[in-house]
Structure 1
Amino acid sequence: MKNRLSNIPVTLVTGLLGAGKTTLIDHLLEQRPRDQRWAVLVNEFSETGVDGARLAREGVYLREVAGGCMGCSAALMLQVELNRLLREAQPHRLLVEPTGLGHPMELLQFFQGENYREVLSPRATICLLDARRLSEQKFLDSPLWDQQKQSADVLLGSKADLWTPEDRAAFDGLCAEQSFLACGIVPAAGGRFDTAWLDAPAGSREAAARHDHHHGHSHDHDHESGPQVHDLAFAPDASFDADTLRSVLQALNCERVKGSVQGTNGPLRVDGTNGEINIAPEPHAPTNRLQVIGGSQVHKAELEQRMLRAAASR
């Protein structure tokens, strides 16, 4: 990409499904200097994105790459949307949120490639981790977690208010074992994030590349056998009872659910991981859309019917 832009700081915010990537970026945007333009590139594994409205605000330019991992199956769309974003925003800083089902190595190589070598200046990769997952053998054995851990420069613990002392000990042990540039905890609501981490040097990527070479594999993408993804859209006049909706979603035991819907008493934000469903008031206008990833093997039509049982026309 040839233009007058150069050395734009770019930060990759990684983490598996439900780690809190969008929440962290939303928090960072709140601390953006008002004289700066920031750009955000969000990747959704499904065909439609659900987080754009949450991040949109004055002075922030947003583009979404939907329909697969933007490091592999959506790579062409990544280049198209990134070029548009850079032209429109001419940003002082770029934040990138890949899908929790994606591999970060390809993105790091992409940003350092010939087309963007003089345009983008990669900074420390931030990885979010809910330490409660460290007690799950399936999580520990995940190639996705292995690559995200190895590519991370800064490891941030999320949802720490829900951790047990054992979770904290496991997180501290991981920080001691790995050579991260920094470890920390995502601030609770109202806390201040240390934005200096956004300009920390990219120090672990070379080690990650050596790790990948040493093990002699390329982290093949097997999305065909991965979790099913359903995008559910509901009529604008449909409203949902929060308790009934929570019960329906918990029964699915899905890996991830997120979106916003109209509740009987106002807009609701839906955010859940591994059957833990959080439903809270939403300050933005609801999209009446949900994204459901994994869980019970249910066809989309049946899933929509289950959702609509929790809805009633307003």
Structure 2
Amino acid sequence: MTLITGFLGAGKTTLIRQLLTQAPPHERWAVLVNEFGDIGLDGAFYADLGVAIREVPGGCVCCTTSAAFQLGLNQLIRQHNPDRIFIEPSGLGHPQQIIAKLRSDSYHNVLLFTGAFCVLDARHLNDERYTKHDIFHDQIESADGIVFSHVDRYLQADKQNITSRFGEFSPSAKPLLYLSDPMHLDLDALDIGLADLSHPDSMLVTHNIARSSSAHEHEHEHEHDHQSHDSSSQEVGWHYQKQQDAMQVLGWKWSKDKVFDAIELRSSIQSMVILEGVYRIKGVFVTGLGEALFVNASQGEITLSVFPWSESSRLEIIGDVEGTWPFSCKQTLSIAGQF
């Protein structure tokens, strides 16, 4: 069991996809995706790889003691009996609670937790939009290894920020640092956390799980344009807006017969991803028979891919709880005839 953390838009999905391509042919690998939104979107980005996927959408994604998280993990183990599981929590997930749950008695003799990696865009180390969030620092401090993303876009100042935060690269450093272009992690690195099992401090997170989870509380606010997420509402499409802590998410799911124009769609995404307050945009948009455009955008940068797809189109935008970006995004989609 390997945990892959990282803030919104860091590149967690990209790293896990790269790791999944290295799976030995005789092993069964799986991914548990714990999402901030309600639609169930992130799992779509692994659909073409043929691995077992379990999504835990909606709710408080960092409260891993919740029944939803345990149920999702237990079903994944029972139904697929995988040799290795990657857990991808939301970019707003609290890693210490996840690690505590995985090392608790609930999974003793069931799971071997091999370590935690944090995917980090070094450009964020000096960006107050990211450093103002405690979770951003928690993810770094809880990691056995830091995997740097978007390395080709670093300036000299970004590389200096890495040295200032972590020191010089060393094979004995903790956390270990992985910097390559493109981002890459070898399978040999996945057991990075096992070396610490003999150290007393490595097991401290297994104690007082209930107390640690209750110490972290949230207030949630929801605004829904639909009555429920039943099958009938999903046939006609629906939209929701949800707030958690200092973030909020807008989500859309369209009917299966909705087809998008790729050129108009790209223009809409470009105008929304540069809005102040927007952290990440992810979406899957049907553009033709049996295929869809997969969109992953952050920091004004957009990644587009085309893959086979037979489900409906969906979109989620995550940003600050303050600001006018939600109105602007809705207006952009409405003007483009996509809302």
Q: TM-score range by the shorter chain?
A: 0.7 to 0.9
1:256 equivalent to 2:276? Answer no
SS in 2 for 1:122: coil
Query: What residue is the counterpart of 1:180 in the other structure?
Result: 174
String of CA shifts for 1:66-100, please: whole Å, max 9, x gaps: 11344417721011111110011111111100111
Q: In the TM superposition, what is the alpha-carbon distance from 1:256 to its structure 2 partner?
A: 1.4
Amino acid at match of 1:234: W
String of CA shifts for 1:89-115, please: whole Å, max 9, x gaps: 111111100111110111111011111
Tell me, yes or no, if the aligned pair for 2:5 and 2:139 is still in contact at 8 Å.
yes
Tell which deviates more after alignment, 85-94 or 167-176.
167-176
Aligned match for 2:69, one of 70, 78, 91: 78
Query: What residue is the counterpart of 1:269 in the other structure?
Result: 294
Aligned match for 2:45, one of 23, 46, 54: 54
Tell me, yes or no, if the aligned pair for 2:272 and 2:329 is still in contact at 8 Å.
no
Q: Distance in 2 between matches of 1:148 and 1:48?
A: 24
1:229 equivalent to 2:273? Answer no
Amino acid at match of 2:73: L
Distance change >3 Å, CA 280–CA 100, structure 1 → 2: same
Amino acid at match of 1:195: L
1:292 equivalent to 2:317? Answer yes
Q: Distance in 1 between matches of 2:268 and 2:175?
A: 44
Any unmatched runs of 5+ in structure 2?
221-244
1:307 equivalent to 2:333? Answer yes
Q: In the TM superposition, what is the alpha-carbon distance from 1:149 to its structure 2 partner?
A: 1.5
Query: What residue is the counterpart of 2:89 in the other structure?
Result: 98
1:197-208 mapped onto 2 (5 Å cutoff): 197-202=189-194, 206=201
1:40 equivalent to 2:31? Answer yes
SS in 1 for 2:188: helix
Q: In the TM superposition, what is the alpha-carbon distance from 1:233 to its structure 2 partner?
A: 1.9
Tell which deviates more after alignment, 218-227 or 237-246.
218-227
SS in 1 for 2:283: strand
Q: In the TM superposition, what is the alpha-carbon distance from 1:145 to its structure 2 partner?
A: 1.7
Tell me, yes or no, if the aligned pair for 1:231 and 1:291 is still in contact at 8 Å.
yes
Tell me, yes or no, if the aligned pair for 1:268 and 1:279 is still in contact at 8 Å.
no
Q: Distance in 2 between matches of 1:238 and 1:80?
A: 34
String of CA shifts for 1:15-65, please: whole Å, max 9, x gaps: 010110011111111111111101110011111221212213565211001
Distance change >3 Å, CA 307–CA 208, structure 1 → 2: farther
Q: Distance in 2 between matches of 1:186 and 1:223?
A: 39
1:124 equivalent to 2:148? Answer no
Tell me, yes or no, if the aligned pair for 1:42 and 1:64 is still in contact at 8 Å.
yes
Any unmatched runs of 5+ in structure 1?
1-9
Query: What residue is the counterpart of 1:7 in the other structure?
Result: none
Q: Distance in 2 between matches of 1:11 and 1:312?
A: 38
Query: Over the residues paired in the alignment, what is the CA RMSD in angstroms?
Result: 3.2
Q: Which runs of 4+ in 1 moved over 6 A?
A: 299-302
Q: Distance in 2 between matches of 1:246 and 1:85?
A: 36
Query: What residue is the counterpart of 1:239 in the other structure?
Result: 260
1:168 equivalent to 2:159? Answer yes
Distance change >3 Å, CA 208–CA 269, structure 1 → 2: farther
Distance change >3 Å, CA 21–CA 58, structure 1 → 2: closer
Q: Distance in 2 between matches of 1:277 and 1:47?
A: 24
Distance change >3 Å, CA 299–CA 167, structure 1 → 2: closer
Query: What residue is the counterpart of 1:3 in the other structure?
Result: none
Distance change >3 Å, CA 80–CA 294, structure 1 → 2: same
String of CA shifts for 1:105-162, please: whole Å, max 9, x gaps: 1111101111101111111210010000011134234210221111100011001111
Q: Distance in 1 between matches of 2:73 and 2:252?
A: 27
Q: In the TM superposition, what is the alpha-carbon distance from 1:304 to its structure 2 partner?
A: 4.0
Query: What residue is the counterpart of 1:4 in the other structure?
Result: none
Amino acid at match of 1:201: G
Among all aligned residue pairs of Structure 1 and Structure 2, give the percentage whose two residues are the same amino acid.
Answer: 30
Amino acid at match of 2:88: E
Q: In the TM superposition, what is the alpha-carbon distance from 1:243 to its structure 2 partner?
A: 2.1
Tell me, yes or no, if the aligned pair for 1:65 and 1:74 is still in contact at 8 Å.
no
Tell me, yes or no, if the aligned pair for 1:151 and 1:204 is still in contact at 8 Å.
no
Q: Distance in 1 between matches of 2:338 and 2:138?
A: 44
SS in 1 for 2:247: coil
Query: What residue is the counterpart of 1:67 in the other structure?
Result: 58
Q: In the TM superposition, what is the alpha-carbon distance from 1:291 to its structure 2 partner?
A: 0.5
Q: In the TM superposition, what is the alpha-carbon distance from 1:207 to its structure 2 partner?
A: 6.7
SS in 1 for 2:275: helix
